[in-house]
A and B are shown apart, each in its own frame.
Chain A
Amino acid sequence: MDFPILSIILLAPVAGVIFLLFIPKDEFKLIKSVAAIALGASFGLTVYTYFAYNQTAGGLQFVERYPWINDLGVTLFLGVDGLSLPMLLLVTMIGFAAVFASWNVSERPREFMILFMLLVVGVMGTFVAQDLFIFLLFYEVVVIPIYIMVIIWGSSKRVTKEYAGMKLTIYLLIGSAFLLVGVIAVFVRALIITGVPDFSFTGLAQVPFPVDFQIYMFALMLLGFGSLLSMWPFHSWSPDGYAGAPTAVSMIHAGVLKKIGGYGLIRIALYVLPAGAQFWAPFMAVLGVAGVAYAAFAALAQKDLKYVIGYSSVSHMGYVLLGIASLNVIGINGAVATMFGHGVMAALFFSTVGFIYEKTHSRWIPDFGGLSQQVPRLAVAFLLAGLASLGLPGLVTFVPEFTTFIGAFKVYGGLAVVAITGVILTALYILRAAANTMFGPKRAEWDHLVDIRGPEMVPLVVLGVFLVVFGLLPSLLMDMVNNGVAPLVAEISDVLQIGGRF
């Protein structure tokens, strides 16, 4: 721990925020450049960390510990392992790309960028924190900027942006309320059992909680993290929220923020309360499968592009839930990797739709047709994201989905088959949206559109590179994920006595 790289990754956007406070509010270019540099620094350092992480050694690395509240055992404990690194990479990547997707924000850009960077810091923090208290702290940091950003820079379509913002925020808060109760109960119980106050994940995981206590606490955490993950039927904030939010918020939210739910389920709920997880796993699997099929059908009925992606993301999160519920290394590997793959894909999709909306002031599919002739680069981005969404082999989403299916099919058999029908339905709604938006005869009213260029190309290039490279070389992702998941599952495996179907 000679060079505090994680702190610097966290603080770079904070420095950007402080810098922005001293910049006149009409220096549009400078404001965006500062944000780009600050988030770019975090992104670059994260890429370095990702490849510098020693996989043979494994475990937590780049650890930093600063004691904070000794009486409660709270430590500012930062560190990354194979579970958090892909997520951290995802946040910084999307954060960086989102600045360029918001390059044309002209209303109060300074406030926009300040809030956005705070949001990114909050999300990053949840993934590097190894202390439950700090985790929750960062999580609460996330909520406030989102609300303000939706209310000010959002857009009203089927629902008003105020409704969308409120729904999003209240869901996040209710989720965190359940969590808070669970976390306090777990902490107090651990204190009673061990007599030592400790909020660290590793510390809590050592505590032998009674089984019925684990079952109740896991239910609370499943509610909290589940609604964050847009688990069916607690998903309805997701399509409305994404539709109301500005592009950058949709990107971060669908890309990584909701993955805090999946991450938390594994890192906290499953790791600390394995017996609870075992009790609720079949229930989670059913909700996951229901979410996959239900949201895929709902996506098929949508005419607003953002709603298509919104429901699509609910559907994909069903895979994640199913993967976690399989409670074996392969399934959980698949779930984590699916979160990563879906994040890159969703961010690209939302940035593309954001550009379309910015240029046409419409997201209504029947308004479009033949756009690929007027804005070919946007069409490429759209198709790339769409193909990733339907899990095309060679793109980053395929191997994770396949792995999830293996893990889930082993345990749940027929139930998993229902989820796998998702691959058909996804193809149906994605290709339908692509056909009706991008292909077909062109329309004269969009002849004036200017294709994306210059800074607007950054999201396509950055996210596209990850989509393809991690897709063609999946071990870049899977080795890392497995490095984090395998030891975690090994630690709890004596509690989990899972019998396979085959």
Chain B
Amino acid sequence: MVEFSMTHAWLVPLLPFLAFAVIVFLTRPWKMLSALVSVGAMAAGFVISAYAAYGVFTSHSLIEKSLEYSVRWFSMPGLNIDVGVKLDPTSAMMLFMVTLVASLIQIYSIGYMRGEKGFSTFFAYMSLFGASMLLLVISSNLLEMFVAWEGVGLCSYLLIGFYNHKISAREAAKKAFVTCRIADFGLLLGMLALQIIFGTLNITELGEKIANFELYTNAATLTLVAVLVFLGPIGKSGQFPLHVWLPDAMEGPTPVSALIHAATMVVAGVYLVGRMLFMFLEVPEAQQLVAVTGAFTALFAASIALTQREIKRILAYSTISQLGYMMLALGVGSLTASMFHLWTHAFFKALMFLAAGSVLTALHHKADIWEMGGLIKKMPVTGATFAVGGLAIAGIPPFAGFWSKDEILSLTLSGGHPVLFFMAALTAFLTAFYMWRLIFLAFFGKEKPENHPQESPPVMTVPLLILAFLSLVGGLVGTPWFPFWGEWIRFGEFHHAAPDYTVMILSVILGVIGIGLAYKMYVKDVSAEQRLAERFRPVYTLLYNKYYIDEIYMWFNHTLVDGAAKAMYLFDIYVVDGIFINGIGAITRDTGSALRVFQTGRLQNYALVFFLGVLAVAVILAITGPAPAGLVWGGVR
């Protein structure tokens, strides 16, 4: 079975894809059956992934040289594209994580989506979403990855716009797609350049060729290519300045948000940079850009999250911020730390989104955390699991987030980036604060009499408990004393760094202070935020309005893009058509109608013209004298 799973890893994305087709064409009228098909396919994928992962994590040879097999997709002279599977510890880990988290989310969705009109369609899209992400993970070729990449984008479009009768959902879906498209423009250019320079898009071959890139091109070109490729992840992984779509993506049903934020979609960008890390390591400027973008995004998004009121919006900004950490890790050259944080984040972020969904169901989709309060009494499982997620993201040991975040922080410091380290550490503090602000406001404090919350059914709470368990222990695979993770998932040599107690203690202190401050401001003295907001009104407004970036984009879109569109259209109507086409037409027509005067069809007109002509000849002759007259009168003289 292990052998089979490793050589048939393509089944993992194929099964959910088939589930999508089966639901769309066959089982759509039967809701439960559709859900079972979807969950079944994903669970089967999980089993295969687990076996494959077992196989991979027991054969050391795969760390340096991945298991690859492929078929020809299309080819012509000078352009051969294969689609295939690239199985190594990184992709095996991702297969395992994505199928696990997606299965849990789908099971949860059976409870969350019950009674919805588009129940079957929802599961069809979820299957396709999973399939695209899994294809992306195992891709051995960049173009194959791009196909999956866009597939993920399509599914997010469909699922964010699931309630597309609502204008907000419709616009959010469009925004997600277009924003990612802008980013993909860069990625596409980067891929074209890679294909043209190196003659292949196979990731392994690119790795070999880029290691000696001087044979093909110069460093400046490769830097440009790397930056172009990085544009794609900026969009997909919600990095500044293309992060704007991600908070709006919460318009979709909550399980979709969980899937987008934890297991699929946004981590695709991080994964792509991870896959192409060999290129970024060759060109330090591009690598620096990745690091700075990551650190800045982490801090920037955390600052916005401080003031938001909607539960899912806070979580969305927290995702952007955590993705910034992952990019930062890649930017300082560590695949290990980045993938580790991706792994732990998947568990606690899926957990928190699903728990938020549980809260929203209980409160009939009232999303403002200020209108919640004391929910933990009526919803103990949801509240407790959410708190586990909160501890994990705040970096409190031994929860999962602590280990991965600590690794990123210590690597940033030891890699010689004090400024980035400061930003990352500050983000850690802010994260603990805003996340516990949410938890204290929503789950603790006074109960609101107008709310009548109820704990969700087991089909929803069991996945929460499993995810909470994973958020607790998920980080233990990569502690400084048991560096199993770093030994397997890495790029280049494995270095076992000694535990950096300074950073570790610092990060715990920052987390504790953040939580403590939140406790003081939102449990002890609830009006503190109000007072602070009034005192620092401009800053508060700026943060609350997300630095007005959406407004700037809106202005750009409506003024410049639409203006250019209108200008081109008017040019088309008045210049191309108006002057050229209709002008030529008018000249022809007017010439015609001018000449028509002479074509009256009346005999007397023609006779008159004839007579006038004779008369004219006679007059001319009379005036000009004898010489021409001789021509007319002949020899008569």
A residues engaging B (CB < 8 A)? Answer: 167, 170, 233, 235-237, 240, 294, 297-302, 328-330, 333, 370, 372-373, 387, 390, 392-394, 398-399, 402-403, 405-406, 409-410, 417, 420-421, 423-424, 427-428, 431-432, 435, 438-442, 474-475, 478-479, 482, 486, 500, 502
How far in angstroms is the closest Cβ of chain A from B634? 46
A409, B566: Cα distance in complex, Å = 29
Q: List 14 A-B contacts (CB under 8 A).
A: A233-B576, A236-B576, A298-B565, A301-B565, A329-B77, A372-B164, A387-B154, A420-B192, A421-B185, A435-B173, A441-B165, A474-B74, A475-B72, A478-B76
Interface of A is mostly: helix
Partner of B572, one of A236, A330, A442: A236
B170 partner, pick from A167, A328, A440, A502, beta carbons under 8 A: A440
B188 cross-chain contacts in A, Cβ below 8 A: 402, 405, 420, 423
Report if B177 contacts A (CB, 8 A): yes
Interchain CA distance A391-B177 in the complex, whole Å: 13
Contact of B562 among A301, A370, A405 (CB under 8 A): A301
Across the interface, A431 reaches (CB within 8 A) one of B78, B174, B569, namely B174
Are B196 and A394 in contact, with the CB atoms below 8 A?
Answer: no
Other-chain contact of A409, B154, B192, B565 (Cβ < 8 Å): B192
| Residue B248 at the chain A interface, CB threshold 8 Å | no
Task: Give chain B nearest CB distance to A142 CB in angstroms.
Answer: 21
Task: Indicate the member of A235, A370, A435 with the most B CB atoms within 10 Å.
Answer: A435
Q: Cα distance A403–B76 when bound, in Å?
A: 10
Chain B min CB distance to A55 (Å): 13
List the B side residues contacting A236 at CB < 8 Å.
572, 576-577, 581
Contacts of B572 in A (CB 8 A): 236, 294, 298
Q: In the docked arrangement, what's the CA distance between A410 and B193, Å? A: 8
- Provide the residues of chain A in CB contact with B74, threshold 8 Å: 399, 474-475, 478-479
Q: Interface on chain B toward A: helix, strand, loop, or mixed SS?
A: helix
**Least CB distance, A475 to chain B, in whole angstroms:** 4
A428-B178, A475-B74, A486-B77 known; A502 vs B197 contact (CB < 8 Å): yes
**Interface band, chain B:** 35 or more
A410 near B165: Cβ-Cβ < 8 Å: no
Q: Would you list which residues of chain B between 203 and 232 have a CB under 8 Å from chain A?
A: 217
> Is B368 on the interface with A (CB-CB < 8 A)?
no
Residues of B within 8 A of A502 (CB): 193, 196-197, 217
Chain B contacts for A427, CB-based, 8 A: 177-178, 181
A431 to B78 Cα, complex, angstroms: 34
Closest residue of chain A to B72 (Cβ to Cβ) is: A475
**B580/A409 in contact, CB under 8 A:** no
Complex formed: what's the CA distance from A183 to B531 in Å?
84
Q: Quick check: which of B143-151, B428-436, B467-475, B613-621 contacts chain A, the rest being far away?
A: B143-151
In the complex, what distance in Å separates the CA atom of A439 from the CA atom of B72?
39
Partner pick for A475 among B73, B154, B178, CB 8 A cutoff: B73
How far does the Cβ of A269 sit from chain B's closest Cβ, in whole Å?
A: 22
CA distance A70 to B569 in the complex (A): 51
User: What residues of chain B lie closer than 8 Å to A300, measured between beta carbons?
Assistant: 561-562, 565
Q: Is B195 an interface residue (CB 8 A)?
A: yes
- Kindly provide the distance from the CB of A451 to the nearest chain B CB, expressed in whole angstroms: 15
Specify the chain B residue showing the minimal Cβ separation from A442. B165
| B167 at interface, CB cutoff 8 A | yes
A403 with B79: CB separation less than 8 A: yes
Q: How far is the CA of A392 from the CA of B153 in the complex (A)?
A: 10
In the assembled complex, B612 has its CB within 8 A of some CB on chain A: no
A424 touches B185 (CB 8 A): yes
Does B75 reach chain A (CB closer than 8 Å)? Answer: yes
Contact with A along B69-96 (1 / 0, CB 8 A): 0001111111100000000000000000
Closest 7 pairs (CB-CB, A-B): A300-B565, A393-B147, A301-B569, A301-B565, A439-B164, A297-B568, A439-B170
Are the C-beta atoms of B78 and A330 separated by less than 8 Å?
yes
